[in-house]
């Protein structure tokens, strides 16, 4: 169905702005509300599926509300309907409910993103971001902050296999610093991959508190060290084999990034490397199309999706002479830029 719509859009015979400006908003909202209200989990608990009346009863929807929502989700391809009974489709099973790939928190986070982007018009005019990350610097994270950190963890799980594949890491590495490491998932993956590696992650107080909570829930077999720190100001110490900046540079402006890169370079051992993982443009037309849109979201929090040429210029200004870009496979959002001290 989506392919047909795409073809009709390309042929310019459907009212594209109506699809993008109205239908997309309603579709997104239907998905986010269903996820927030537990529709997919409720359906997963009913092996024979549920009627709209049963779902309404279970989750406290108005009968007509449940009916219209289930029909919409069915037409969007998220549910299946047989004889008036609805069950989860394969996208829900794989991308929302699967413990390894599920994006439940990511969808919850988009409810906040939706709200934040109300400020986009103002942000585009003034150039000032709608959100200040330093609001996260509170030891007791709000539900929104905790959702953010757990959502980033879900995204990390999708990215880690490509990152591990593309990063050129010598067999013997001992110390890794994960700046803005939040949930700690990247550090965990590196420690599990490279025997003898120890990792420390720093972040603002809120995400560190959430990371500590995750460790309480699941343990910390990798012995990760957590610390509150400020990527925009701190001295990062010395003698790290690896410094990771995953999804960080898109939050900051050029000046902030150059300054951060200089402090990363000073913190690396000679021959150690900086791994910058993010969503970059300049690595192919398909990726550029996606990131041109995502960049608006980054601009709304103070940064943008940088072009690889801008990244190279910033890293060279910070003193890195050897820099390589390594795009991920098309199904993984992002790319790695590795720079050696
Ligand atoms: C987009 S998330 C990325 C998290 C994680 N690195 C990942 O890729 O999943 C950005 C992270 O940067 C952290 N952050 C933002 N500003 C920061 C600062 N000035 N110092 C330290 N961490 C910061 C946020 O708290 C958040 O955890």
Give the distance (Å) from ligand 1 centre to CA of residue 281. Answer: 20
CA-proximal residue: ligand 1, atom 12 (nearest): 180
Distances (CA, A) of 48 to 42, 66, 81, 184, 204: 12, 17, 11, 38, 45
58 and 177 together in one domain:
no
90 and 203 together in one domain:
no
Q: Summarize pLDDT for 224-272 with one digit per residue, the tens.
A: 999 999 999 999 999 999 999 999 999 999 999 999 999 999 999 999 9
Ligand 1: residue of 178, 179, 180, 228 to mutate (most ligand atoms within 8 A of CB) is: 180
Residue 297 inside a domain? The answer is yes
What integer pLDDT is reported at residue 331 of this predicted model? 85
Residue 52 inside a domain? The answer is yes
What integer pLDDT is reported at residue 241 of this predicted model? 98
What integer pLDDT is reported at residue 333 of this predicted model? 79
What integer pLDDT is reported at residue 276 of this predicted model? 98
Question: 303 and 123 in contact (C-beta within 8 Å)?
Answer: no
Give the distance (Å) from ligand 1 centre to CA of residue 178. Answer: 10
Question: 96 and 107 in contact (C-beta within 8 Å)?
Answer: yes
17 and 159 together in one domain:
no
Give the distance (Å) from ligand 1 centre to CA of residue 246. Answer: 8
| Averaged pLDDT, 172-187 | 96
CB count within 10 Å of CB 32 equals 17
Per-residue tokens: 332: 């993984």
Q: Which residues contact 184 (CB under 8 A, 6 or more apart)?
A: 178, 201, 211, 214, 215, 224, 226
Question: 335 and 280 in contact (C-beta within 8 Å)?
Answer: yes
Residue 108 inside a domain? The answer is no
Per-residue tokens: 161: 């296999």
Which of 49, 68, 102 is a domain's end point? Answer: 102
27 and 139 together in one domain:
no
Q: Summarize pLDDT for 110-155 with one digit per residue, the tens.
A: 999 999 999 999 999 999 999 877 777 777 888 889 999 999 999 9
Give the distance (Å) from ligand 1 centre to CA of residue 28. Answer: 25
Which of 69, 102, 135 is a domain's end point? Answer: 102
195 and 234 together in one domain:
yes
Q: What is the number of the ligand 1 atom nearest to the C-alpha of 231?
A: 20
Residue 109 inside a domain? The answer is no
Which of 102, 127, 146 is a domain's end point? Answer: 102
167 and 18 together in one domain:
no
Query: What are the backbone angles phi and psi of residue 20, rounded to the nearest 5°?
Result: -75, -40
Burial bucket for residue 25 (CB in 10 Å: 0-12, 13-18, 19+): exposed
The domain total for the chain is: 2
Give the distance (Å) from ligand 1 centre to CA of residue 226. Answer: 13
Q: Give the chain's radius of gyration (CA, Å).
A: 22
Ligand 1: residue of 137, 150, 248, 301 to mutate (most ligand atoms within 8 A of CB) is: 248
Q: Which residues contact 130 (CB under 8 A, 6 or more apart)?
A: 116, 117, 119, 120, 122, 123, 300, 301
Burial bucket for residue 210 (CB in 10 Å: 0-12, 13-18, 19+): buried
189 and 232 together in one domain:
yes
169 and 318 together in one domain:
yes
- 3-class DSSP state of 245: strand
94 and 137 together in one domain:
no
Ligand 1: residue of 204, 205, 277, 328 to mutate (most ligand atoms within 8 A of CB) is: 204
Q: Summarize pLDDT for 60-104 with one digit per residue, the tens.
A: 999 999 999 999 999 999 999 999 999 999 999 999 999 999 999
Give the distance (Å) from ligand 1 centre to CA of residue 182. Answer: 6
262's enclosing H/E stretch is: helix 254-267
Per-residue tokens: 57: 């009863």
Residue 151 inside a domain? The answer is yes
Q: Summarize pLDDT for 11-63 with one digit per residue, the tens.
A: 999 999 998 889 999 999 999 999 999 999 999 999 999 999 999 999 999 99
Residue 110 inside a domain? The answer is no
160 and 48 together in one domain:
no
Q: Summarize pLDDT for 298-329 with one digit per residue, the tens.
A: 999 989 999 999 999 999 999 999 999 999 99
CA-proximal residue: ligand 1, atom 5 (nearest): 181
Q: What is the mean pLDDT of the chain?
A: 94
Segments forming the whole domain that contains residue 214: 115-340
What integer pLDDT is reported at residue 296 of this predicted model? 94
169 and 127 together in one domain:
yes
Distances (CA, A) of 171 to 84, 168, 179, 185, 268: 57, 9, 22, 20, 17
CB count within 10 Å of CB 239 equals 12
Q: Residue 1: pLDDT above 80? A: no
120 and 86 together in one domain:
no
Give the distance (Å) from ligand 1 centre to CA of residue 180. Answer: 4
Residue 278 inside a domain? The answer is yes
CATH number, position 141: 3.40.50.150
Per-residue tokens: 66: 């449940």
CA-proximal residue: ligand 1, atom 9 (nearest): 152
Residue 187 inside a domain? The answer is yes
Give the distance (Å) from ligand 1 centre to CA of residue 264. Answer: 15
Ligand 1 lining (C-beta closer than 6 Å): 133, 136, 152, 155-156, 180-182, 203-204, 207, 229-232, 246-248, 251
């Amino acid at each position: 169905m989506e392919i047909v719509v795409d073809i009709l859009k390309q042929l310019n015979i459907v009212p594209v702005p109506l699809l993008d400006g109205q239908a997309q908003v309603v579709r997104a909202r239907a998905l986010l509300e269903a996820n927030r209200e537990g529709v997919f989990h409720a359906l997963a608990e009913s092996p024979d599926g549920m009627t709209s009346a049963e779902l309404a009863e279970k989750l406290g929807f108005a009968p007509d509300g449940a009916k219209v929502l289930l029909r919409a989700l069915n037409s969007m391809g998220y549910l299946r309907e047989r004889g008036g009974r609805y069950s989860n489709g394969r996208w829900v099973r794989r991308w929302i409910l699967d413990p390894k790939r599920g994006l439940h928190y990511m969808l919850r986070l988009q409810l906040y993103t939706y709200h934040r982007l109300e400020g986009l018009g103002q942000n585009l005019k003034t150039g000032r971001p709608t959100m200040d990350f330093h609001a996260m610097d509170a030891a007791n994270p709000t539900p929104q902050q905790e959702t953010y950190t757990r959502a980033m963890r879900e995204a990390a799980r999708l990215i880690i296999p490509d990152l591990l594949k593309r990063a050129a890491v010598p067999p013997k590495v001992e110390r890794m610093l994960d700046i803005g490491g939040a949930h700690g998932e990247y550090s965990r993956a590196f420690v599990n991959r490279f025997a003898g590696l120890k990792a420390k992650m720093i972040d603002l107080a809120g995400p560190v508190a959430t990371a500590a909570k995750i460790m309480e829930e699941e343990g910390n077999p990798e012995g990760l060290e957590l610390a509150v720190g400020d990527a925009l100001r701190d001295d990062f110490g010395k003698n790290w084999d690896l410094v990771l900046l995953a999804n960080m540079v898109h939050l900051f402006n050029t000046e902030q990034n150059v300054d951060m890169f200089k402090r990363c370079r000073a913190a690396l051992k000679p021959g150690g490397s900086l791994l910058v993982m993010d969503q970059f443009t300049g690595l192919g037309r398909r990726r550029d199309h996606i990131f041109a849109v995502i960049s608006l979201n980054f601009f709304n929090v103070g940064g943008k999706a940088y072009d690889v040429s801008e990244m190279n210029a910033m890293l060279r200004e910070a003193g890195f002479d050897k820099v390589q870009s390594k795009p991920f496979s098309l199904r993984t959002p992002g790319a790695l830029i590795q720079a050696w001290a």
